[in-house]
Copies of this chain bind each other. A is one copy, B any other.
């Protein structure tokens, strides 16, 4: 514990944090940690540090992670090609097994191990654990791609009350034990609603929801949930951003106070967002 390069803390800065500590005291903070935001080891370390600090400072973070790029790498490694239908990967049995191995057996376990090394208890979970995510097939053509039927938050609430940080892989399970790939954005929203989390943070590889202003693209800092349809109609929100924003709106309509879409590629973006009113990404609110 002897650290010669220790610098003194800045008490004034800590005092400025009091209103934020109070606002989030004992609140569930649902963090969706997208596969595309897992850029490099240093950034991953910072995300974990931010989440560990949130826990030490009295919040209840819950992580839902993605992992698309790593699944693709692993499939390539074993010489398996994917075909896509409308942007969704056709998932046969073997693809599903590889997906589950990568998400639950590699990414979630890695996040848990990193968190644990800071003295915070953590646990990796996926759909079948405690019946967490009950899912069904979305579309027979897509194979083991699922949609969520029910979220069973009992286990998570129990773990939160025991001071765990749950790390959830977005995999669902049906009553016969079949597993399905679930869109992690969708899982994040459904779980945030079920846990009555006031805050949902989408850690992505974009700066926020963007709109063109003159020649350049600028982040839309705040969007009322009721304006979203207008934004889409007017063509400001387009493409893959539409389902993401619609999902966030769904959370807000079901009790989540604010959804933050922030840039996980920036250093310590979580802490900056939580402990300041100078938000950099997009906030969707009621």
Q: Which of A19-27, A31-39, A231-239 contacts B (4 or more CB under 8 A)?
A: A19-27
Given contacts A118-B22, A130-B121, A272-B8, contact A56 B53 (CB under 8 A): no
Contact of A173 among B78, B116, B129, B278 (CB under 8 A): B116
Contact of A116 among B15, B105, B131, B164 (CB under 8 A): B131
Q: What residues on B are CB-neighbors of A8 within 8 Å?
A: 272, 276, 278
Query: How many copies of this chain sit in the oligomeric assembly?
Result: 6
Contact check, A271 vs B11: say whether CB atoms are below 8 A apart: yes
Q: Which of A96-142 contact B (CB under 8 A)?
A: 97, 100-106, 109, 112-114, 116-119, 121-126, 128-131
Q: Which of A80-101 contact B (CB under 8 A)?
A: 97, 100-101
How many A residues are at the interface, by size bracket? 35 or more
Q: How far apart are the CA atoms of A130 and B123 in the complex, in Å?
A: 6
Q: Which of A5-62 contact B (CB under 8 A)?
A: 6-19, 21-23, 25, 46, 49-50, 52-53, 56-58
Expressed in whole angstroms, the minimum distance between the Cβ of A266 and any Cβ of chain B is: 10
Contact of A58 among B2, B56, B101, B267 (CB under 8 A): B56
Expressed in whole angstroms, the minimum distance between the Cβ of A95 and any Cβ of chain B is: 13
Contact of A105 among B105, B118, B123, B173 (CB under 8 A): B105
Q: Which of A174-182, A187-195, A210-218, A244-252 contacts B (4 or more CB under 8 A)?
A: A174-182
